[in-house]
């Protein structure tokens, strides 16, 4: 068991080339399944976030949701360092 009072939050900055390398297997515009794999979130979570306005990195053309990779990463991980 760890003592929470001894835990420190460590922030690290990623370089642009590190980010590009990490995302190279994902297309700039992707469907729901690829967005789910990239973020580690369930497709139902992504649908919910879109429907409630929490996630705006997508466009709905007809039935399928399309996500913009770079915007998606920024929106989902924007609070991850806090």
Query: Hunting for tokens 């649908």 — which residue is that?
Result: 47
Q: Write down the pTM of the prediction.
A: 0.70
pLDDT for the residue 13? 72
**Which residues, 6 or more positions from 11, have their beta carbon under 8 angstroms from its beta carbon?**
81
pLDDT for the residue 32? 93
pLDDT in tens, the chain (82 residues): 445 555 555 556 767 788 778 888 899 999 999 999 999 999 999 989 998 988 888 887 777 899 999 889 888 877 554 4
For the chain, give the number of residues.
Answer: 82
Q: For the chain, which domains are there?
A: 25-82 (1.10.1660)
């Amino acid at each position: 068991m760890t003592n929470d009072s001894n835990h420190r939050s460590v922030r690290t900055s990623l370089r642009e080339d590190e980010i590009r390398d990490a995302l190279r297997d994902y297309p700039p515009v992707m469907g729901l399944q690829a967005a789910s794999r990239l973020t580690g979130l369930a497709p139902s979570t992504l649908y919910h976030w879109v429907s409630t306005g929490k996630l705006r990195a997508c466009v709905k053309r007809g039935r399928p949701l399309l996500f913009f990779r770079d915007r998606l990463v920024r929106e989902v991980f924007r609070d991850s360092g806090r």
